[in-house]
Amino acid sequence: MNKNMKTNNESGNVLVIVLVALAIVAVGVLAYLSGQSKKEERMQTAAANGQVAAPQDADAGEQMVIKPGNPVVAKVDGQEITRVDVFNFIQTLPAQTRQLPVAQLFPVALDQVINGRIIEENTKGVRLDSDPVVKERLANVKKTIVREVYVQKQVEKKLTDERIKAAYDQYVQNFPEIDEVKVRHILVEDKSKAKDLIKQLEEGADFAKLATENSTDGTAENGGEIDYFAEADVVPEFAKAAFGLEAGTYTKSPVKTEFGFHIIETQDKRKRPPASMEQAKPFLEAQLRQVALNEVVQEWRGKADLERYDINGDAIEPAAGEAAK
């Protein structure tokens, strides 16, 4: 290996490690502490099973081995820190930082988890209720919560059943017409077998039974059934054959696609139905909440004694709906 090349690589690795450390410290121990409340939401199972992308060793070109399990990777005053704890902390880091090789990221992340655990231990039982800074921050948090809850209540008042029903009716009215078909199919690897199966169908064989016994894809266990789909949902050759059949008929010659040879039976045709009120309601409510929030703010702006100035401090005419002083 070229000596200069090796020196450059070593310098580069040191730089990467320093950048990783800076990125993690930027998030800080407080991110670790706050992240503990969401610990169960992290990717614990994947981490415990070693299902983590293993980085490439820059020098040896060998893959880093991460053994299955959830080993203890540190202890603070006898309390264990496991690999999952460190991976949970890594999940709180910015996406760009998480993409760095585990071999470089893990040691620095572990150090921050250790620091966080030490801070936890040293701040247990601390009482600062009377501290002015604590009081001020608690007051600000309370003020924020009160504002959010009040605004939420005002928004909820506008989300009436009648308004949600009107939004649903509008959704149904604007729902596009999309043709769909429901089919059964049999997928095999060679054309001659497909032809033989078509011959059996012509002789009265049951389509679902042949699909279960011969189809090579996952639909075999359901007799080859594929639920309703649009033309754009499947490969062109399959779509052309399925949509070109009358309901209750099947292809008289094999249909070749990138997956193999198909025999397709079109069972039903329809226009795609809109979602039911029950299905659509959560999405409609989410949209209406934003609309209602804008309405509330605009109503309050209209009542406010508002003066606006441009970047140079010159007066600007009030916007429509805003009260002039």
What average pLDDT values come out for the chain (325 residues) when binned by 10 residues?
44 50 51 46 43 41 73 94 94 89 91 93 90 94 96 96 96 95 97 97 96 95 96 96 96 96 97 95 95 96 90 81 54
- Residue 200: per-residue pLDDT: 97
Residue 56 CA to residue 95 CA, distance in Å, equals: 19
pLDDT of residue 244: 96
The reported pLDDT for the residue numbered 81 is 95
Residue 32 CB coordination number (10 Å): 24
Please state, in angstroms and rounded to a whole number, the distance separating the CA atoms of residues 121 and 250: 71
Alpha helices (H) along the chain: 3-35, 44-48, 83-90, 95-98, 102-123, 132-158, 161-174, 191-202, 207-214, 236-244, 277-303
User: First vs last Cα of the chain: how many Å apart?
Assistant: 77
SS3 state at 93: coil
Evaluate if pTM is beyond 0.75. Answer: no
| Residue ranges of the chain assigned to CATH 3.10.50.40 | 179-271
Count of CB atoms situated within 10 Å of the CB of 100: 21
pLDDT at 26: 52
Q: Which amino acid is at 112?
A: Q
pLDDT of residue 54: 38
pLDDT of 32: 47
**How many Cα atoms sit within 13 Å of 177 on the Cβ side?**
2
pLDDT at 78: 93
Backbone angles phi, psi at 279, to 5 degrees: -70, -40
CATH 3.10.50.40 fits 179-271, yes or no: yes
The whole-number pLDDT of residue 103 equals 87
